Structure 1
Amino acid sequence: MPIPIHESHHAPGALKRLPLLKASAFFIAAVCLCLCGLLYLQLEQSRRHDLALAEVASSNLTRAMAQQAEDTFMKADLVLTSLADWIQADGYDRMQLSRLQKTFSRRVQSLQQLHGIFLFDRQGQWVITSFDDLPHGSGVADREYFQFHQQNVSSLAHIGPAIRSRENGEWIIPVSKRVNDDHGNFTGVLLAGIKMAYFDEFFKSFSIDEHGAMFLARTDGTLLARRPFLESQIGTSVAQGAIFQKHLPLANAGNAMINSVVDDTVRLYGYRQLEAYPLVVSAASSRDAILKDWYENAFQSSVIVALVILGIGLFGWVFIHQVRDGGRIEADLRTAQEALELIATHDSLTGLANRRLFERALDIEFGRGARQGSALSLIMLDIDFFKSYNDNYGHVAGDHCLAEVARALKSYCQRNADLAVRYGGEEFAALLPDTDIHGAMVIAEQIRRSVIDKNISHSGSPTGHVTVSLGCYSFVPSGRDSVEVFIQRADAALYQAKHSGRNRTAVLSMEGGVETLTRSDR
């Protein structure tokens, strides 16, 4: 029955040590996670702010582009409308040709965006141009704008795909009108060519990054002008791009982060469809350029936070190791204390409880027996002729004999409350709570026979082997009993067993206040 000498003052610390270790690790991890979380929130907020500013700038840029493009085409449209009205009213006979040519030339000179103005007859042949010399060739019957007006009676201006002028090979955007006779029949096409170089210069007036882009396209996705200018892309279709597929059907203007179908660059596009003409303008800045400063700040902030986390981690590592070392030291101290308690309360040779632990156990069991009204028994036993055994076989053999007897005693003290004690020298005791005198006598006899069964040779004993004598006493504590009297009565029973010839069990009972002795010699 393990009864410690002192209450352990280290047990609460031991219970708290593991949570402290876990709490420390959790706290350090939580601090690191919070730092990472705050860094993420700050960087995300900064990124969104930069993108929002870029969206505002992109919207303003596309609005300016749309206004400029609309003004450019509207001026050409107005010129064509006035000329078409004149031609339809007065015709273009030989008497009018010189006058019309001069008018065409003056209008081109007044509008820097115009490449030239051309009049074609119903077969697509040149009639009048703003140039001094009339071109010669197969005409323009194969051009998209000419075929459009042949097939459509609309008097609205038509903006066709970009083409190379057959006058001088310059890239132009054709703005054309149908010319009718007095009966509304098709008589030709009036064309104003807008220089693509004009839009190129206009685009260059805006400050965008080297990976940015600007374009002017028809609403069907046909590319009219682009910055940076790539001749191979002029006239191609971007109708499968996200702007035309996803965004324009939902809104005539807006912003979107898109991966370009032209050069596979991710850009923030601002787009706007013109109100007066079927055209779309768009300006885009590359995502990398928009977030360039953000990337630098993110890198610097991340390095700083990483260094802080590294410092916290190193501190935490040292702290946790100190906690662990403290835990190990405390465990070692507890182990040492338990070892000291074991040494202080148990016999080193036999491993049984010593008299100090026995006395404490008696105090505890007297109180418990008094509270519960249960019997308490004590068996005292002594090795017969042990001095003679030591003299004949030596102290080493004597120690071995003591250990064997102790094992026999302990083997019959199986309950947690039972206590096997080396009382002194060759004398032992067994404290048996909740056991009456009959139970004590049964156990005593089992111990005595167990020692005999070990068959330890003893030439100094009449039986030729080691035996023990046992004395039993049992009573129900009342709370006013004496421990010394309790031991004396069990010892008296042991004395009677030895006096009666040894190798036997004696029981001391109290009947009517008179002590009587009974013996059991088996």
Structure 2
Amino acid sequence: MPAPIHDPYYTLGGPLKRLPLRKAAVAFIAAVCLCLCGLLYLQLKQSRDHDLALAQVSSANLTRAMAQQAQDTFRAADLVVSSLVDWIQDEGYEAARNPRLQQTFARRAQALEQLHGLFLVDREGRWVVSSFGDLTRPVTFDDREYFKFHQRNASREVHIGPAIRSRQNGEWIIPLSRRINGPQGEFQGVLMAGIRLAYFDRFFKSFSIDDQALMFLALADGTLLARRPSDQQMIGKSLAQGPIFRTYLPQARSGSAMIRTPSDGSVRLYGYQQLQAYPLVVAAAIPEEVMLRGWWANAVQSSVIVALVVLGISLFGWVFVLQVRNSERIEADLRAAQERLEVIATHDSLTGLGNRRLFQRVLETEFARSQRQQRRLSLILLDIDYFKPFNDTYGHLAGDQCLVQVAHLVKSCCQRKTDLVVRYGGEEFAVLLADADIDAAYTLAEQIRQRIRAAAIPHRAAPSGQLTASLGCYAFVPTLEDRVELLIERADAALYQAKHLGRNRTQVMSEGGTLKDDAGVKVQG
């Protein structure tokens, strides 16, 4: 008697004689595998730490570049504003000087790419002069944050406010402003330079970093000014409760930290820096998965190699310590398993009929045979009438029992061994008839329909009060130009017509593709 396939101790020569050797071999193989895995772990850990260290250096460099660019941008605008404020306080801005001021404003605004424009506002918040020339309508600025700030504060230091939309053309700008005082230090107005938000958008986009990376410029109080990726809805939002402003900036003006983002749960390496000369903060965040993308690729490659080596060693050990398998028993078991799988793959588990896969395979074979031998091939498609209401009324368990009963009735009507009955899908069944003309198909279809009606299966949701079925038939002699799908399409068209004409009937489509009325009249049961 052959040994069971699962018995690991059977050998042709009897049980293994040297049990300690087998144990030693298993221990040796396990030790080698553990050593390989340990070395792999150490190598991957060192590589990961190295990649993270390089990422921290890159993040710090990126943050410094952002801070330097932001500081240079605001300093250039601040120099323009401070020099003009000194000039205006010395010369005044009477109406006679306005054209000269406007020309000066225009030249200064055109000289700096980042400047949207320059605006002079009097102590009442009324527009006096701008780099754009005359405004098309009266404009007041007394509601702007920067105007209220200078109106309340006597300091002549520069002020950078939250991003606003320009009343000149609607463009997003960051206001940089200084207070203008009178001879006695009284408040006389504000000079504001609008720095284009689009300038920082272009600057952020100039960095060759991953699309998942995050960059932003914010005020020292956490008010967001600009970010990458750009999102206008985020402009003006407060980041004060975020870990950068709440935890890290109070401890150091610059640095880096691994932070988990609450919105998506991803871990990012943040590099941050607060500018020395202005109340601004820049930060750049790179996702951990981006930083470790190369490491992951190397880890997968190394793990696969080690896994293959471990697998090879393990297989060698199993070959050394396990029995020689009985090939005949394996072959018999595999054959039986294949037959079982074949049945599972080609038959419907509920009704026991063939399934669509078997139908397609047999249909292609019979279609090719009918083409070669010029014999007729017929197809009957059957659909249970009002089956969804049946399920809704009696429940899905009763629906399954109904399908099993209908399958049995259809199968009992097919007497030839060559007739194939399958569950085509849902409540649809198909009967493939080789070497049968349309009359034979129609006769069999009517027999099936009447037998289903004679079974008197209750169906309260149907007009007749009992279960019925609609059938469509088609038969033809396929030529070399015909497609397999043509048989299904025309049988399905006949079935659709039977449904359309009131159900509980058999409808036939002629070989020419037209519906025949003589075979389609409803037969009362």
Normalising by the smaller structure, the TM-score range is 0.5 to 0.7
Q: Write out aligned runs for 1:454-473 (5 A).
A: none
Deviation per CA, 1:484-505: give whole Å up to 9, x if none: xxxxxxxxxxxxxxxxxxxxxx
Q: Write out aligned runs for 1:165-244 (5 A).
A: 165-244=166-245
The reply on whether 1:73 has 2:74 as its aligned counterpart is: yes
Contact 1:174 1:191 in 2 (8 A): yes
Shift of 1:260: 3.3
**1:39 is matched with which residue?**
40
Amino acid in structure 2 at the alignment position of 1:164: R
**1:153 is matched with which residue?**
154
Contact 1:211 1:285 in 2 (8 A): yes
Shift of 1:138: 5.2
| 1:81–1:205 distance in 2 versus 1, CA, 3 Å | same
Deviation per CA, 1:198-237: give whole Å up to 9, x if none: 1111111111111112111111111101111101111111
**1:133 is matched with which residue?**
134
**1:486 is matched with which residue?**
none
> How far apart are the structure 1 equivalents of 2:86 and 2:115?
20
Q: Write out aligned runs for 1:19-38 (5 A).
A: 22-38=23-39
Shift of 1:107: 0.5
**1:275 is matched with which residue?**
276
Identity of aligned residues (%): 65
Question: Number of residues paired by the alignment?
Answer: 307
SS at match of 2:255: strand
Amino acid in structure 1 at the alignment position of 2:126: Q
Contact 1:238 1:261 in 2 (8 A): no
> How far apart are the structure 1 equivalents of 2:297 and 2:159?
49
Amino acid in structure 1 at the alignment position of 2:310: I
> How far apart are the structure 2 equivalents of 1:183 and 1:22?
100
> How far apart are the structure 1 equivalents of 2:58 and 2:251?
21
Say which is worse superposed, 107-116 or 257-266, in terms of deviation: 257-266
TM-score normalised according to structure 1 size: 0.56
Amino acid in structure 1 at the alignment position of 2:148: Q
Q: Write out aligned runs for 1:63-102 (5 A).
A: 63-102=64-103
Contact 1:196 1:225 in 2 (8 A): yes
**1:312 is matched with which residue?**
313
Shift of 1:314: 2.2
Shift of 1:33: 1.9
Shift of 1:67: 0.7
> How far apart are the structure 2 equivalents of 1:92 and 1:283?
43
> How far apart are the structure 2 equivalents of 1:124 and 1:261?
42
Q: Write out aligned runs for 1:69-468 (5 A).
A: 69-134=70-135, 136-137=137-138, 139-260=140-261, 265-321=266-322
Deviation per CA, 1:63-86: give whole Å up to 9, x if none: 111111101101111111111111
Amino acid in structure 2 at the alignment position of 1:44: K
Deviation per CA, 1:68-119: give whole Å up to 9, x if none: 1101101111111111111111211112211111111110011110000001
SS at match of 1:92: coil
> How far apart are the structure 2 equivalents of 1:193 and 1:262?
32
> How far apart are the structure 2 equivalents of 1:252 and 1:164?
30
Amino acid in structure 2 at the alignment position of 1:97: N
SS at match of 2:54: helix
Shift of 1:301: 1.0
SS at match of 2:247: helix
- Find the structure with the greater CA-based Rg: 1
> How far apart are the structure 2 equivalents of 1:301 and 1:145?
59
Contact 1:84 1:177 in 2 (8 A): yes
Contact 2:127 2:139 in 1 (8 A): no
> How far apart are the structure 2 equivalents of 1:137 and 1:25?
91
Contact 2:178 2:192 in 1 (8 A): yes
SS at match of 1:236: coil
Amino acid in structure 1 at the alignment position of 2:88: I
> How far apart are the structure 2 equivalents of 1:56 and 1:137?
52
Amino acid in structure 2 at the alignment position of 1:166: R
Contact 1:159 1:173 in 2 (8 A): yes
SS at match of 1:192: strand
SS at match of 1:249: coil
| 1:261–1:83 distance in 2 versus 1, CA, 3 Å | farther
Instruction: Flag structure 2 segments of 5+ consecutive residues without an equivalent.
Output: 1-16, 324-525
Contact 1:119 1:129 in 2 (8 A): yes
- Alpha-carbon RMSD across the aligned residues, in angstroms, is 2.0
Contact 1:160 1:175 in 2 (8 A): yes
SS at match of 1:317: helix
Contact 2:158 2:176 in 1 (8 A): yes
Deviation per CA, 1:109-138: give whole Å up to 9, x if none: 111100000011112111111102235345
Amino acid in structure 2 at the alignment position of 1:281: V
Deviation per CA, 1:307-352: give whole Å up to 9, x if none: 1111222233344448xxxxxxxxxxxxxxxxxxxxxxxxxxxxxx
TM-score normalised according to structure 2 size: 0.56
The reply on whether 1:48 has 2:49 as its aligned counterpart is: yes
Shift of 1:18: 6.8
Shift of 1:285: 2.2
> How far apart are the structure 2 equivalents of 1:88 and 1:42?
68
SS at match of 1:118: strand
> How far apart are the structure 2 equivalents of 1:154 and 1:29?
76
